[in-house]
Amino acid sequence: MVSRPPLRRAGLSEMADATPETPRILSSRRQLVATELDARLPDWDSEEDDVLVCRAVRQETHDVRTFVFSGRSPRRHHYKPGQFITLDLNIDGQSVNRCYTISSSPTRPHLISITTKRFAGGVVSPWLHDTMKPGVEIRAIGPMGEFNCVDFASPNGKYLLLSAGSGITPLMSMARSFHDLAMETDVLFLHSARSPADIIFRSDLAIMARSPGFRAIPICEHDSPDESWTGLRGRITLPMLQMVAPDLMEREVFACGPAPYMAGIRSMLTGAGFDMARYHEESFKFEDLAPLDAAIAPPANTANAVATYKVEFTKSRRTIEVPADTHVLAAARAAGMRLPSSCTRGLCGTCKSKLLSGEVAMQHQGGIRQREIDQGMVLICCSKPLSDLVIER
Ligand SMILES: Cc1cc2nc3c(=O)[nH]c(=O)nc-3n(C[C@H](O)[C@H](O)[C@H](O)COP(=O)(O)OP(=O)(O)OC[C@H]3O[C@@H](n4cnc5c(N)ncnc54)[C@H](O)[C@@H]3O)c2cc1C
Ligand code: FES
């Protein structure tokens, strides 16, 4: 087995200390490039080291930025195009979790990017826009998510990618992957934006569209102050879809955007007789995805039932009764408590809480690390009590 020196990323300041021409700095730069390109780089694994370091920030539009990250030392990032990571942040002393789709492509595994729209009045997106710059470290879990073009690859290589606004991010990861792999695919990417100034990744799409088998068609609702739009205009309609994709029925369709946009797409495709088994969508609001599982919602009638346990929430100073077949979060909500949560299905990590005593049965989907479970953390949205519990919340 070949032994190799520990991998380390040279700091920019370290490189700036020397004159670029000096042999030392040249050798350091060569070493850096050689290390980064080492095919044997270990994978980034949020179970082992969940820190991501910001390496670059790109302004995509007036209110959208891309943040590029890598591990603290060189790592390869593996994910399926369309998946997301959950940022685990501490903002003003509060722990906050938010999910962001990976907008980069796993074909370029050294870096991982997210692209976020700034929501005025929001907690995390303005913080990212205002705070994130090269060198800033954050924690993240993932990747996760079922919306991806690997598990739902098109049998004939034909794709229709549909997005609106910041919903472009998972589809951009797919488009970049198809483009980099230069496979025999036929990708049609229709992106809806308010105006030309709001088209995210406009130049990247234009560059990819130079390759055969890739078409990118932006659709704008209106002009920008400094550009009148000459392309497709208005909201997406079935005749518009059929005009640009006469072979619509042969395509695997992926869509992401606000709930009304996706409702419109669904109804157009259903109306056209499209096989909805070949339609896949992602929502940036978990509540828009599907109703809560019966298992997660509190049972309507627990009269005949199962054991009931006392669950004490230390910070909220509340104690409630939770039947053994009910998730703790659902019972707390039913009791009128407002606890942090987002996906309610064990994905995002927002409801993570410390279990001070007792035992739960937890069925999560990647929103918590094994070492956190070992430290007594639980996701209360997908945990049912097996005894009386004391939870720090
Ligand atoms: C799977 C997934 C993937 C995602 N991928 C992306 C992505 O690629 N890019 C992206 O930009 N986003 C993405 N999101 C959305 C992202 O997670 C955040 O929801 C988004 O950035 C807003 O977070 P925030 O903390 O800034 O706003 P929040 O604080 O969560 O607020 C959201 C909005 O609600 C408003 N609001 C907040 N509190 C209130 C209140 N009390 N009353 C009324 N309005 C209120 C805010 O003004 C803001 O407009 C994704 C979400 C999911 C679930
Ligand atoms: S609310 Fe998302 S993991 Fe619990």
376 & 342 share domain: yes
User: Ligand 1 center to residue 160 CA distance, Å?
Assistant: 26
Contacts for 179 with CB less than 8 Å, ≥ 6 apart: 105, 187, 208, 211, 214
Does a structural domain hold residue 273? yes
Residue from 131, 284, 350, 351 to probe ligand 1 pocket by mutation (most atoms less than 8 Å from CB):
284
Does some domain include residue 150? no
Q: How many CB atoms lie within 10 A of CB 244?
A: 15
Locus of tokens 């518009």: 240
For residue 364, which atom of ligand 2 is closest to its CA?
Answer: 3
Ligand 2 and 349: CB distance under 6 A: yes
Q: Return d(Cα 55, Cα 107) in angstroms, integer.
A: 18
Last residue of a domain, one of 115, 144, 173: 144
Same-domain status, 244 and 335: no
In a domain, 293, yes or no: no
Query: Which atom of ligand 2 is the closest one to the Cα of 286?
Result: 2
Q: Verify that 180 and 254 share a domain, yes or no.
A: yes
Query: Of the bound ligands, which one is closest to the alpha carbon of residue 327?
Result: 2
**Residue range of the domain that includes 181:** 158-284
CATH code at position 219? 3.40.50.80
Within-domain flag for 295: no
Structural domains in the chain (count)? 4
Q: In this structure, are 178 and 251 located in the same domain?
A: yes
- Please choose, from the candidates 387, 379, 343, 342, the residue with its C-alpha nearest in 3D space to the C-alpha of residue 362: 379
Ligand nearest, relative to CA of residue 287:
1
CA–CA dist 215, 201 (Å, integer): 14
Q: Are 175 and 107 in contact (CB under 8 A)?
A: no
Does 253 sit in the ligand 2 pocket, CB within 6 Å?
no
What stretch of H or E contains 22?
none
Establish if 153 belongs to a structural domain.
no
Q: Whose CA is nearest to atom 10 of ligand 1?
A: 116
Residue 300 is assigned to a structural domain of this protein: no
Q: Are residues 172 and 266 in the same domain?
A: yes
CA dist 362 and 360 (Å) reads 6
Tell me, in angstroms, the distance from the centre of ligand 1 to residue 379's CA.
20
Residues 356 and 254 in one domain: no
Question: Are 331 and 277 in a shared domain?
Answer: no
Give the ligand with the smallest distance to the CA of 201: 1
Closest residue by Cα to residue 236 from 216, 220, 249: 220
What pTM, to 2 d.p., does this model score?
Answer: 0.83
Distance 74 CA to ligand 2 centre (A): 30
- In angstroms, the CA 44 to CA 203 distance is 29
CA–CA dist 139, 52 (Å, integer): 6
Show the beta-strand stretches assigned E in 123-213. Answer: 137-144, 158-164, 186-193
Q: Which ligand is nearest to the CA of 143?
A: 1
- If we measure between CA atoms, which residue out of 236, 118, 216, 217 comes closest to residue 176? 216
**Looking at residue 320, which CATH number applies to its domain?**
3.10.20.30
301 belongs to a structural domain: no
Q: What pLDDT sits at residue 20?
A: 57
- Domain match, 98 and 23 both: no
Tell whether 106 and 224 lie within a shared domain.
no
Task: State whether the beta carbon of 381 lies less than 6 angstroms from ligand 2.
Answer: yes
How far is residue 368's CA from residue 379's CA, in Å, rounded to a whole number? 7
At 295 the pLDDT is: 39
Look up residue 145 and give its two tokens.
């998510």
User: Which uninterrupted H or E stretch holds 127?
Assistant: helix 124-131
Among 233, 102, 245, which Cα is nearest to 160's? 245
Ligand 1 pocket: which residues have CB below 6 Å? Answer: 84, 98-101, 114-117, 119-125, 166, 169, 284, 286
5 — alpha (psi -120 to 50), left (phi > 0) or beta?
Answer: beta
267 and 324 in a common domain: no
Structural domain contains residue 289: no
Tens-digit pLDDT string for the chain (393 aa): 334 444 445 444 444 454 556 777 777 878 878 777 777 889 998 878 889 999 999 999 999 999 999 999 999 999 999 999 989 899 998 878 899 999 999 999 999 999 999 999 999 999 999 999 999 999 998 888 889 999 999 999 999 999 999 999 999 999 999 999 998 999 999 999 999 999 999 999 999 999 999 999 999 999 999 999 999 999 999 999 999 999 999 999 999 999 999 999 999 999 999 999 999 999 888 766 544 444 344 454 545 668 999 999 998 899 999 999 999 999 998 998 878 777 888 888 889 999 999 999 999 988 888 888 999 999 999 999 999 999 999
Kindly state if the Cβ of 362 falls inside 6 Å of ligand 2: no
Q: Which two tokens stand for residue 142?
A: 């993932």
Q: Are residues 183 and 274 in the same domain?
A: yes
